[in-house]
Amino acid sequence: MRASRPLWAILDPQRVAVVGASNTEGSPGWVLWRNLESFPGESVPVSRSATEINGVTAYPTLRDVPGPIDLAVIAVPAAKVPGVIDDAVAVGVRACVIVSGGFAETGPEGQRLQTQIADAAREADLLVVGPNCLGVQNCDLPLNASLSTGAARGGGGISIITQSGSYAMALNAMSDDEGVGFAVAYSSGNRCDVDDSEVIDYLRLDDRTRVICLFAESIADGELLLDVARRTTPAKPLIVAAVGRSEAGARAAASHTGALAAERRAWNDVMTAVGITVARSGLEMLDAAKALALQPVPRGARAAIITNSGGTGTELADLLSVEDIVVPPFSPGLRARLESLLPTYASSANPVDVTPAWTRFVEMYPAVIDEVARSGEVDVVIPVLLHRSAENADVARAIIAAVHRLRADGVRVPVYCCWVARRSAWPVAALLQEAGIPCLEWPERTARAVGHAVRYAGVLGARGAAGPPRPEPDRVARSTGGGKAGEATSAQGGQGLLALLAEHRIPFVETRFCATVPEAEEAALSLGFPVVAKVDHKDLSHKTDVGGVRVSLSSIDAVAEAATDLLALVDGALVAIQRQVTGVELVIGGLREPTFGPVVALGLGGVFVESIGEVCFAPAPLDEAAAVALVERSRAAGLLAGVRGESPVEARDVAPLICAVGDLLMAHPNLIELDLNPVIVGGHGVVAVDARATWTS
């Protein structure tokens, strides 16, 4: 099955032309031509400087090549690329990969050239990868239409999309050194046409791809990525390493790719909410990819550790706990069975310490792996291989045989090796990885990769938590006059915001707006004591900073005194009288994140909102499952569960308001930011008591 655009022409072509092919050893045209020697289809050289390339007839231009061309790989100077694109359009080439540099990454003139080729390609429906990219590899075909020296081996199921050519080249080194196979290596470069999300959507349907990785220096269309991720993550893992989050990283990304790094504050939460596995680095991304591509997905978070070093096993157990993976004590029955396999001075506890009895490693490691994997007491098995256990190929072969027996018997518990050994022993690790058993270096990297695998199991178990697909926003939204609308309790537009909140089923505490002290007294009597009085004026966004909030007013005299003070704070002020409610204070709001669009935020309200670490995010719109998931991963979840004798509140009780905020953002694209702070949750239900909104004109 193919994606909506014919990306098969890039990754599964039958006929490839190299424009700029050369006989000059070491030149880009020479490297590209040599890399295509293993391509099972037909390769055609195009060169103005030679009549043949390595004995194959060359043609001056694409217009001179007889027959159709699926893919043209272009390696000519930047100024000549527009002419090549014109030739490609004229003869109906399906796709082009432009490895040439000298475009948007170099400045205004390069940007002009890039825009020129992008416009021409888009008008003709010609797919363009790059420019300024390393190229593409389909490791299973094989197709190496790249500048990479050598090709990664196929069969491993890992596909990587990267804006960094160095990461595409790193796959070859990993493949050679560690025995890891790949499916696709796609270097996107400046992305003047094909978006990374289109490639993800194509790989979602690619049977050879089991895990998709994205190494992103910037994300051009975050909303498209979220929509594609919602379709992808229930089928296969999508791992994203987004770099450029620091100030220095953002500068480097901008100079390298020609795209400014966007604000990243909410990125992790938003991507995680749609099932994306977020890695902190490219190395972590590749570790997680190995774990998820080579072994079955864990069914839970219980791990068994098998080691011949107590200290290393303890360190790994500690690091797994950081990932919310438990290392449970074994049952007496399992311990008795393990003790029959181990020396008398070994430990059958978890971690299992087989001791340095290296002459028995070949029998003990596979036997213990088999016993604990079949026990039903764990979901993950992690043998730690170090020193003699790592350097003995017979131990590796015995582990491979044990894992194969487990799979033959239908036991799907994954086995990951924690590798702590000299580099000279990597050929042994390669044996394991070629057999589908990942070797992850050192306890810290192992724990992080296994944590990602376990969390992806949670994605599969909570398919509804990603929320509904994002529809096209309603572009005919009502006008708000632009600028900041001020407080929801403001007569200068705030009452209109209150009406809008009510229209979207967002509960707000009953409020009366008063211009005089007698009006405030009458409002308090009508609402019932105790009440809250707040100054209300469009220029006073933070009322507490000016002493503009009075709480627990329990008498007419107290209301009169408060109203007198508040009305005098600024000319034209009103006083808002509200029925006082108590409970857990939350902040629930929404904003238009520059990359990912409408996003809902949830955290602890009041003073806690000043700490960004207390706030969680999810992309709008949300359904009930997604809203509940947002509550449950927030710091607010602990307070809602009930503390200090308070009655517990279910996450689903807060979910309708969260969903309503998301719907409001989707319905009004000129609503830039909405803050409901605080929202008070208690025996009275869930109500907002303050709100601010910012609109564009």
| pLDDT tens string 613-642 | 568 999 999 999 999 999 988 877 766 766
Q: Which helix (H) or strand (E) holds 417?
A: strand 417-420
How far apart CA 158 and CA 223 sit, in angstroms, is 24
Question: What is the SS3 assignment for 269-322?
Answer: HHHHHCCCEEECCHHHHHHHHHHHHHCCCCCCCEEEEEECCHHHHHHHHHHHHH
Do the Cβ atoms of 191 and 142 come closer than 8 Å?
Answer: no
Q: Is 22 left (phi over 0), alpha (psi -120 to 50) or beta?
A: beta
| 3 state DSSP class of 27 | coil
Task: Calculate Rg over the CA atoms of the chain.
Answer: 31
**Amino acid present at 123:** E
Do the Cβ atoms of 632 and 651 come closer than 8 Å?
Answer: yes
pLDDT of residue 355: 93
pLDDT of residue 253: 38
pLDDT of residue 646: 59
User: How many CB atoms neighbour CB 594 within 10 A?
Assistant: 12
Distance (Å) of CA 674 to CA 587, 589, 690, 691: 10, 5, 11, 7
Residue 54's closest CA among 30, 18, 20, 74?
A: 30
Which parts of the chain sit beneath pLDDT 70? 1-4, 167-168, 244-265, 462-467, 470-495, 541, 606-614, 638-639, 641-647, 697
Do the Cβ atoms of 185 and 166 come closer than 8 Å?
Answer: no
- Map out the domains of the chain as residue ranges: 8-291, 295-464, 510-579, 584-695
Classify domain 584-695 by CATH architecture: 2-Layer Sandwich (3.30)
How far apart CA 294 and CA 602 sit, in angstroms, is 37
Q: What superfamily would CATH give domain 295-464?
A: Succinyl-CoA synthetase domains (3.40.50.261)
Residue 575's closest CA among 583, 587, 567?
A: 567
- Read off the DSSP letter of residue 326: B
How far apart CA 544 and CA 689 sit, in angstroms, is 14
- Read off the DSSP letter of residue 470: P
pLDDT of residue 460: 86
Instruction: Count Cβ atoms within 10 A of the Cβ of residue 136 and give its class: 0-12 exposed, 13-18 middle, 19 or more buried.
Output: buried
Instruction: Count Cβ atoms within 10 A of the Cβ of residue 582 and give its class: 0-12 exposed, 13-18 middle, 19 or more buried.
Output: middle
pLDDT of residue 641: 64
Do the Cβ atoms of 666 and 620 come closer than 8 Å?
Answer: yes
Q: Which helix (H) or strand (E) holds 514?
A: strand 511-514
How far apart CA 393 and CA 336 sit, in angstroms, is 29
What are the start-end ranges of the H helices in 36-164? Answer: 81-91, 108-124
> Residues near 333 by Cβ (< 8 Å), separated by ≥ 6?
none
Do the Cβ atoms of 576 and 533 come closer than 8 Å?
Answer: yes
* Beta-bridge mates of residue 138: 143, 184
Do the Cβ atoms of 615 and 602 come closer than 8 Å?
Answer: yes
* Token couple for 472: 């096209």
* Helical axes 556-567 vs 517-527, angle rounded to 10°: 140
Q: Matching CATH topology for 8-291 and 295-464? A: yes
Q: Which fold has domain 510-579?
A: Dna Ligase; domain 1 (3.30.1490)
Q: What is the CATH number of domain 8-291?
A: 3.40.50.261
How far apart CA 180 and CA 541 sit, in angstroms, is 57
pLDDT of residue 682: 83
pLDDT of residue 697: 67
**Amino acid present at 424:** S
pLDDT of residue 311: 93
pLDDT of residue 601: 93
**Amino acid present at 194:** V
